Structure 1
Amino acid sequence: MPTKTYHIGVEATMEIIGGKWKSIILCHLRHQTMRTSELARAIPQISQKMLTQQLRELENADIVARHVYKQVPPKVEYSLTDYGESLSGILHELCVWGEDNIDRREAAGEEITLLSRDDV
C-alpha cells in the first residue's frame, strides 16, 4: 500500500467526514440510532442514493455501524461506533459555531430559520 501524505491533520479528518452530508448525518446519529427512512426525513435535501453512499463510506471508515434485523420487511439501523463517538465533541462544536453564526447573521438583519438547536 502506498504511503499517504497529509500536510496537516485536519486533512485526514476531512477525508473521513468532509463533504456536504457526512457531518450532518453524523450529527443526527450523535443523538440516536436511526433507520434510513428516519435519516431521509431528517435531511430532506439529500437523495436516497447519496444517503446510502455516504452511510456506506462512513461504515467503511468504522465511524457508523449498520445493524440489519432479519425480519420481513427488513429493518436496518445506523448508529455511531465507539470510534465514531470520538467525533462527538467536534460535531458539537460545529453545531454551536453554526448556531452562533446564525445568531450573528440574524442580528445583522438576515432572515434565517433554524429548525433545531443542538441540545447536547
Structure 2
Amino acid sequence: MAAKSKESGLKYATNILQDRCQTILIFWLGFRPLTMDELIKLFPEVSEETLVTKLRALQNLRVVNPIRDTADCYSLTDDGDQLRRLMNSLSVWGVQQQDQNADRQSMLIIEPELTANIKDLVKYRKTVEQYL
C-alpha cells in the first residue's frame, strides 16, 4: 500500500509499532511461521476477526507475507523480519534504561526454542508483553 503523503521514516515506523497487537504479531511471526489457530492461542483476548484485520493491515504494509505457506502459516517478509529485529533491540534497550534509572538489574531475556510447542509459547507471552 503506497503512502498518500510523505512522512518521516521514524513516524512511519512508529505508526506501525503504536498498535500493540500488530507489534506482538510481528514478534511472534518473526519467531516462526504460525497458523491462525496458533495465533488465536497466543492472542486469547483478541477475536479472530480482529487478528485477520491486523494481519491484512500488516500484509498491506509489506510486513507480513500476503500468501500463507503450504502449511497455511503466516510469516514475515524480509522487511518485516528487519523491523522485528529493530523493534526487539529497541524494546530491550528501553527496558534496560528503565531498570537502570530505577537502580534495578535487568533480567536476561532468553527466547524459547524454535521447536517449542504452542503451550510453551503461550507461557512465554507474559515475557513478550513486558518488553513490547
The question of a shared fold, defined as TM-score above 0.5 by the shorter chain, is answered with yes
Three-state SS of the structure 2 residue aligned to 1:64 is coil
3-state SS of paired residue (2:68): strand
Partner of 1:13 in structure 2? 13
Per the normalisation by structure 1, the TM-score is 0.68
The structure with higher relative contact order (CA 8 Å, sep 6+) is: 2
Query: 2: distance between equivalents of 1:63 and 1:12?
Result: 13
Runs of 4+ in 1 over 2 A off after TM superposition: 14-18, 97-105, 114-118
Match of 1:34 in 2: 34
CA distance 1:95–1:36, shift in 2 (3 Å): farther
The residue matched to 2:6 in structure 1 has which SS?
coil
* Matching of residue 93 in structure 1 with residue 89 in structure 2: yes
CA distance, structure 1, for counterparts of residue 83 and residue 21 of structure 2: 15
User: Identity of paired residues, percent?
Assistant: 25
- Superposition pairs of residues 12-91 of structure 1, within 5 angstroms: 12-65=12-65, 66-67=67-68, 69=70, 76-91=72-87
Structure number with greater Rg is 1
Amino acid aligned to 1:23: T
Give the drift of 1:96: 1.6
Q: How many residues align?
A: 105
Q: Select the structure that is richer in helix.
A: 2
| Cα RMSD after superposing both structures | 3.1
Question: Do 2:16 and 2:23's aligned partners in 1 also have CA atoms closer than 8 Å?
Answer: no
Q: Bigger shift: 91-100 or 54-63?
A: 91-100
* Cα distance in structure 2, aligned partners of 1:11 and 1:103: 26
- Spell out, residue by residue over 1:45-66, the C-alpha distance to the aligned partner (whole angstroms, 9 max, x if none): 2221110000011111111113
The alpha-carbon deviation at position 94 of structure 1 amounts to: 4.1
Alignment partner of 1:79: what SS? coil
Q: TM-score, normalised to structure 2's length?
A: 0.62
SS at match of 2:126: coil
Can you give the 5+ residue segments of structure 1 that lack an aligned partner in the other structure?
70-74, 108-113
